[in-house]
């Protein structure tokens, strides 16, 4: 299957490049545009809904692999994820066109989480670095749905600067791909390789200065696939089942931290649904760093988290978990200092 997966990933990469011009024309024709505003940092109109350019080839390839594995559980997992992927693209298109209210977005996100749970993409365990994993039982449903909502918002919130979310997603895919290869898990390898290939192709047009944005179409599709890899039922990371949540959580350290900070920040102002320009990348931009520099810094930190995440599949879980907590604590402190400095300005 190695050659088949490689050829499929190459096909997705090439198709994404070919679809970008069509995607831009489609966005312009149907008013799928990111207009300059107080909430946004770009100064000119940019086509969005760019997730179509890689989402459609990935979905097509997932359906093809569903046919290849049609007589096994893996075939159903490919089929179900591809079907929900279409739904995520549709939700994203609606939002990119009409700029849905935050409350409506949350409803869609919960709906995606519930559907994925019904299809069998569930969290059965929570990692315990010091011992046996916690078996969730009835808590599996609420935590699975919450996981999808958190990951979708994490990718969405960090998508406030050219190439930031796309690059982070690509790095997370590399982490998941490495773990999948180490454990010889065909499902993880395939899904991670497909998304990595599409993100790398899209990043060529999305890095500063961006020619097209992901939009909700892209962020929801990326988040759905990343979350799905870590909740793939009985097929999830065979051999390291107890590490399934710790690996993606560590790799997504920066986006998830940004979500947590945003929640506390918005609770303080009295409305959790109020958008702002105080995310980590906005604060770094206010300090005078360029978009390219910020992206490269965040890529580096994400890669560091990724290396720690890969380490969780090895034999030094306690040491790595402690190191992860220390790094997270340092980043929280630095983020708090930066936000205080920005607030004083």
Kindly tell me if the per-residue pLDDT of 166 is higher than 60: yes
CB of 35 closer than 8 Å to CB of 102:
no
Cα(21)–Cα(243) distance, integer angstroms? 40
Q: Which residues of 168-184 are buried (b: 16+ CB within 10 A; e: fewer)?
A: bbbbbbbbbbbbbebbe
Q: Per residue in 78-119, pLDDT tens?
A: 999 999 999 999 999 999 998 888 788 899 899 999 999 999
- pLDDT tens track for 246-264: 777 778 888 888 888 777 7
In this prediction, residue 242 carries a pLDDT of 39
**Tokens 């490919």 found at:** 78
Low-confidence winner among 3-12, 48-57, 118-127, 335-344 (lowest mean pLDDT): 335-344
**What DSSP element (H or E) covers 125?**
strand 125-126
**Which three-class secondary structure state does DSSP give residue 184?**
coil
Q: Is the pLDDT of residue 238 over 60?
A: no
Confidence (pLDDT) at 94: 93
pLDDT for the residue numbered 71 = 84
For residue 344, what pLDDT band results from cuts at 50, 70 and 90? low
The Cα-based distances of 302 to 134, 183, 196, 254, 339 in angstroms read: 27, 22, 15, 7, 20
Q: What is the pLDDT of residues 174-214, one digit of tens each?
A: 988 988 888 788 888 999 999 999 999 999 999 988 999 99
pTM above threshold 0.75 = yes
22, 182, 237 from 178: Cα distances, Å: 33, 6, 11
Element (H, E) at 134: strand 134-135
Most confident of 86-95, 154-163, 290-299: 86-95
């Amino acid at each position: 299957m190695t050659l088949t997966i490689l050829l499929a990933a190459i096909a997705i990469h090439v198709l994404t490049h070919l679809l970008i011009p069509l995607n831009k024309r489609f966005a312009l024709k149907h008013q799928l545009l990111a207009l300059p505003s107080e909430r946004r940092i770009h100064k000119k109109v940019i086509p969005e809904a760019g997730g179509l350019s890689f989402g459609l080839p990935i979905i097509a390839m997932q359906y093809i692999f569903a046919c290849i594995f049609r007589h096994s559980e893996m075939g159903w997992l490919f089929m179900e994820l591809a079907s929900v992927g279409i739904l995520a693209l549709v939700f994203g298109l609606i939002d990119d066109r009409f700029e849905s209210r935050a409350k409506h977005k949350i409803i869609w996100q919960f709906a995606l989480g519930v559907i994925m749970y019904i299809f069998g993409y569930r969290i059965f365990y929570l990692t315990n670095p010091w011992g046996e994993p916690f078996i969730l039982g009835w808590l599996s449903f609420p935590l699975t749905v919450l996981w999808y909502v958190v990951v979708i918002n994490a990718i969405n919130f960090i998508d406030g600067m050219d190439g930031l979310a796309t690059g982070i997603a690509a790095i997370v895919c590399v982490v998941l791909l490495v773990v999948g290869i180490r454990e010889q898990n065909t499902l993880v390898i395939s899904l991670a390789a497909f998304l990595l290939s599409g993100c790398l192709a899209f990043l060529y047009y999305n890095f500063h200065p961006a020619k097209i944005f992901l939009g909700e179409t892209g962020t929801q599709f990326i988040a759905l696939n990343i979350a799905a890899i870590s909740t793939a039922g009985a097929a999830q990371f065979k051999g390291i089942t107890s590490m399934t949540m710790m690996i993606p959580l560590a790799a997504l350290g920066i986006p998830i931290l940004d979500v947590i900070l945003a929640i506390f920040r918005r609770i303080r102002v009295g409305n959790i649904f109020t958008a702002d320009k105080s995310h980590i990348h906005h604060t770094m931009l206010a300090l005078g760093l360029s978009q390219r520099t910020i992206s490269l810094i965040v890529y580096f930190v994400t890669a560091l988290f990724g290396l720690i995440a890969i380490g969780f599949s090895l034999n030094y879980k306690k040491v790595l978990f402690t190191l992860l907590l220390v790094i997270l604590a340092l980043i929280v402190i630095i983020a708090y200092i930066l936000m205080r400095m920005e607030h004083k300005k």
